[in-house]
């Protein structure tokens, strides 16, 4: 039994209680029936809420899995690059990806809403086309009757047929206006969905930039210290080498220029 049907039983039970009160009759039985009906409605609502929560949890798990895979694909090159450059060197763990996963999840949801809105627009436009074709068909049928009568081919039911065609056309035109409004509404929703996707893509790009910065900055600092230490050791072990290095920070990459290198007697 649906919640609507249970609520109808609850209203009927309440009406029985009210009637008993108005008549001054014993309300024990109708109140008991009302109590049972009310409990049934509450239980049905609780079950419906539980089903909704379960469905939401399942959907959240699906989106989380997709977002995790998306972020893993995005960060894989960074992880590989850092692991290669700092191979054998102790370095900080890769930054937490929770914020990036959240941005990816928001983008996935926005893209799915966009897809469903596009499908809704296709269906609405198909309905719109069907109605217009039916209206055109009725107009053509009415015109055919008029042209036939002009040629002198009259039938007893022509007037009734034309009246019926006019009534059908008016009814379809009324439906067409409703469908036109529906199409316009979905078109506006599509624009909003497209804007939302663009915004979510931008937010994900910002999250990726931040995680790149947080991951690469420590790696660059470690690489810099190792290179500087290696140059100092080279200079110490080979004092006759004229080694000069220039450090230009600013792009999160080590820029090491060794110029004027050569053996000097």
In tens digits, what is the pLDDT along the chain, a chain of 265 residues? 899 999 999 999 999 999 999 999 999 999 999 999 999 999 999 999 999 999 999 999 999 999 999 999 998 888 887 777 777 666 667 778 899 999 999 999 999 999 999 999 999 999 999 999 999 999 999 999 999 999 989 999 999 999 999 999 999 999 999 999 999 999 999 999 999 999 999 999 999 988 888 877 777 777 677 766 666 666 666 555 554 444 444 334 443 332 223 333 2
Write b or e for each residue in 120-157: b if 16 or more Cβ atoms lie within 10 A of its Cβ, otherwise e: bbeebeebbeebeeebeebeeebeebeeeeeeeeeeee
CA atoms of 81 and 223, how far apart (whole Å)? 12
pTM exceeding the 0.85 threshold for the entire prediction: no
């Amino acid at each position: 039994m649906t919640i609507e049907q249970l609520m109808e039983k609850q209203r009927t039970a309440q009406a029985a209680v009210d009637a008993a009160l108005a008549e001054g009759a014993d309300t024990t039985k109708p109140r008991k029936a009302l109590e049972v009906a009310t409990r049934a409605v509450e239980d049905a609502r609780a079950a419906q809420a539980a089903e909704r929560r379960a469905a939401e949890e399942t959907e959240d798990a699906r989106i989380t899995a997709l977002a995790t895979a998306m972020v893993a694909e995005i960060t894989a090159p960074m992880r590989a690059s850092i692991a290669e450059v700092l191979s054998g060197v102790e370095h900080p763990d890769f930054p937490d990806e929770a914020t990036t996963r959240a941005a990816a999840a928001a983008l996935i949801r926005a893209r799915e809403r966009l897809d469903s809105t596009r499908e809704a627009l296709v269906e609405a436009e198909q309905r719109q086309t069907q109605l217009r074709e039916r209206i055109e068909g009725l107009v053509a049928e009415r015109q055919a009757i008029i042209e036939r009568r002009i040629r002198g081919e009259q039938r007893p039911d022509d007037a009734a047929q034309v009246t019926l065609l006019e009534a059908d056309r008016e009814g379809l035109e009324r439906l067409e206006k409703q469908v036109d409004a529906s199409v316009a509404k979905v078109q506006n929703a599509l624009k909003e969905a497209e804007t939302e996707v663009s915004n979510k893509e931008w937010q994900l790009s910002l999250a990726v930039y931040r995680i790149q910065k947080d991951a690469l900055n420590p790696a660059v600092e470690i690489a810099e210290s190792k290179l500087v230490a290696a140059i100092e050791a080279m200079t110490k072990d080979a004092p006759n080498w004229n080694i000069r290095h220039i450090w230009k920070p600013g792009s999160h990459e080590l820029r090491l220029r060794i110029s004027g290198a050569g053996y000097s007697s």
